[in-house]
Structure 1
């Protein structure tokens, strides 16, 4: 008879939420295992860094600290392991994985998010990649994606990673919009992207740009600004940001050699006769992120669609519980936010699991309250904000939970 390893808590995902939850749960005596299909733990933190309140936040350092905590507490971290099924039976979960079956009384899904593909003409050429792939190549594997590249798409992911790439010595020819079409939708409209840029004013490199962006947003001037935005663009961290320029096609025989660019009107139409070639050897496409939640569906968890959270997310309450017994969620599977928010959610999920397991004693209520408040504070002060209206969307989610209950 084959022995099936037994745990108090199985966590799927060794990113900021999963590792934070593992450390918290293990510190209160639970037997915890963390599974991740990537060869090493840390998730997307490994390639992230940005300025946070006047200091550089280095994701790799944060990941190393969490990993060390988990190892010191006896957490079983298993990398290179894929989870392809889960079933609840006899009051326990059984997870089917590439390394065999594992069992636990409770499961936390911290699977993170995935990038949204943004098709464009020529996007199958070698040298075209997602913006996240460029980040991983540069900041995790220390391999430049190319000598000179172009970023297609304007969102917080594009802006944050563009700066990371330039700091790491990667040459970026510019950031442009995707060409108009059925896949790009509003992403190809200059007005939409100007409004997004205004919402990212707090990331701007100068006080004048930060103040101007916030003022223009509050006055509803996105449409006006898009009409008068310089056709040559403006430089942000030394990168030409071109909100009136679209990528029409990526060109090359066996690899990326250039991108055909064209001017756009303020309403998003290509201006005939303005096509020209930009010589580059790689292209990074930034289509945004969505919650990676397939396992929650396999587990039978109901879903709610909320655009502010990135799409369909598992129904959950503020304590990270789902309606499915013994199933919890934390991190970007619950909605796209920053790594700092994911870490706070992970700690909250760890406290909730321990509370449900009865290991917190008299401290139960105070610990839950403090963990919930910590998530709220981190969310309110987070530098990286992927979508507007996240706090309101969270409140709507919790009301749906109450209605479900």
Structure 2
């Protein structure tokens, strides 16, 4: 029997498994994909320092370290239930039930689907799917495409598609509706994108964006936003155009796009069809936390973290004894943050077992500081108010889930 079962072999899961195994614990990692690495597998970008972040190489490094520590990694395993008896967590999967006193849930994030008429046509995909097809499977998703939805993830993957020689013709917004919400509101989208303006390709855009953070100036800016958009690495970003339908008979042939007013309302009679043979829908990311919910973990809705997240401490433990979380399940951030959080969780689990030769508290302290350091130096944040969200969660934990001595009020397992 394992000491720890890790659900998810992405950056958080692998890092957590490694930290636990380094402290003498027997670890099993489960993942439904055919190979370990999670979202790391599709990531490829150049950082402000000029260095390239190659997620596939990073996942290979983590995998090799895990193998050297004799961590049992099982791919193609889907976990569908997580429940606890008196002392053990029972992890139910398509290949049977495994049990352990501690479980780390590192299931990552999923993409928000934004339904657009015609989205069931072959050639329509989420932007994350386009990233995986391009960077993992080396499959060209098409020759000329349109992205529906403008957010930080859009621009990160746009660059990766361009590096692969794929032509993205334009970026437009989804039609504004109760489902698309802020994703269809030009001013709200602009407000979000301004937080990544320091990465803009021209000095003029970078300087101008500082003025646009003023509410009044931003409203003026969206009023006078160019009809043909502003180019991002050669691809027009058209905040005043909305996709009303994806057209085609047997596959994608184009997108019907309409002009909008400053509030995102479609202007009648302004529709145009732009040709395309593929479409990416970019709705953003949310924490994939269903397993923690099934386990009975309490949740908190924190939009600064991306939505509903399981309640957790700085050491990644939940109110449920022996259940830990790490990575994007706790809030949408980068792969580097996920790795750092996984390390914290792995060390915290080791501490529960009395491991660490008296140095575990110091290791945990350094690991927590590492998360803060990585966050401070992050080039972009998927959610601009991430620090505010983390602060809220810390306050919730300290006021609701610790006693007067600052300790969790339940009995330790291990």
Report the TM-score, using the length of structure 2 for normalisation.
Answer: 0.94
In structure 1, the residue matched to 2:221 is 225
In the alignment, is the contact (CA less than 8 A) between 2:87 and 2:101 conserved in 1? Answer: yes
The match for 1:38 among 14, 33, 36 is: 33
In the alignment, is the contact (CA less than 8 A) between 1:151 and 1:172 conserved in 2? Answer: yes
Are 1:24 and 2:19 an aligned pair?
A: yes
Q: Which segments of 5 or more consecutive residues in structure 1 lack a partner in the other structure?
A: 1-5
The match for 1:269 among 247, 265, 270 is: 265
Which 4+ runs in 1 deviate beyond 6 A?
none
* Equivalence map 1:155-304=2 (5 Å): 155-217=151-213, 221-304=217-300
Offset from partner CA, 1:235-284 (integer Å, 9 cap, x none): 11111111111111100111111111111111212222221110001110
In the alignment, is the contact (CA less than 8 A) between 2:15 and 2:340 conserved in 1? Answer: yes
In the alignment, is the contact (CA less than 8 A) between 1:191 and 1:266 conserved in 2? Answer: yes
In the alignment, is the contact (CA less than 8 A) between 2:192 and 2:384 conserved in 1? Answer: no
- Quote the offset at 1:181 in angstroms: 2.1
Q: What is the CA–CA distance in structure 1 between the aligned matches of 2:174 and 2:14, rounded to whole Å?
A: 36
The match for 1:51 among 46, 50, 54 is: 46
- Quote the offset at 1:352 in angstroms: 0.9
Q: Tell me the C-alpha RMSD between the 2 structures.
A: 1.2
In the alignment, is the contact (CA less than 8 A) between 1:48 and 1:139 conserved in 2? Answer: yes
Are 1:11 and 2:1 an aligned pair?
A: no
Are 1:319 and 2:333 an aligned pair?
A: no
The match for 1:129 among 121, 125, 146 is: 125
In the alignment, is the contact (CA less than 8 A) between 2:6 and 2:27 conserved in 1? Answer: yes
Q: What is the CA–CA distance in structure 1 between the aligned matches of 2:202 and 2:20, rounded to whole Å?
A: 42
In the alignment, is the contact (CA less than 8 A) between 1:337 and 1:384 conserved in 2? Answer: no
- Quote the offset at 1:83 in angstroms: 0.7
Q: Which segments of 5 or more consecutive residues in structure 2 lack a partner in the other structure?
A: 402-414
Q: What is the CA–CA distance in structure 2 between the aligned matches of 1:298 and 1:269, rounded to whole Å?
A: 39
In structure 1, the residue matched to 2:84 is 88
How many pairs were matched up?
A: 400
Offset from partner CA, 1:195-242 (integer Å, 9 cap, x none): 122111122123332232234225763212111111001111111111
Q: What is the CA–CA distance in structure 2 between the aligned matches of 1:324 and 1:271, rounded to whole Å?
A: 52
- Quote the offset at 1:155 in angstroms: 0.6
Q: What is the CA–CA distance in structure 2 between the aligned matches of 1:403 and 1:385, rounded to whole Å?
A: 27
Q: What is the CA–CA distance in structure 2 between the aligned matches of 1:98 and 1:260, rounded to whole Å?
A: 42
- Quote the offset at 1:372 in angstroms: 0.6
In the alignment, is the contact (CA less than 8 A) between 2:187 and 2:219 conserved in 1? Answer: yes
Q: What is the CA–CA distance in structure 1 between the aligned matches of 2:68 and 2:217, rounded to whole Å?
A: 53
Q: What is the CA–CA distance in structure 2 between the aligned matches of 1:271 and 1:94, rounded to whole Å?
A: 55
In structure 2, the residue matched to 1:67 is 63
In the alignment, is the contact (CA less than 8 A) between 1:15 and 1:45 conserved in 2? Answer: yes
Offset from partner CA, 1:286-338 (integer Å, 9 cap, x none): 00111111110111100000001111100001110000000000000001111
Offset from partner CA, 1:66-117 (integer Å, 9 cap, x none): 0010001101110000111122224111111111111112000000001110
SS at structure 2 position matched to 1:7? coil
In the alignment, is the contact (CA less than 8 A) between 2:119 and 2:246 conserved in 1? Answer: yes
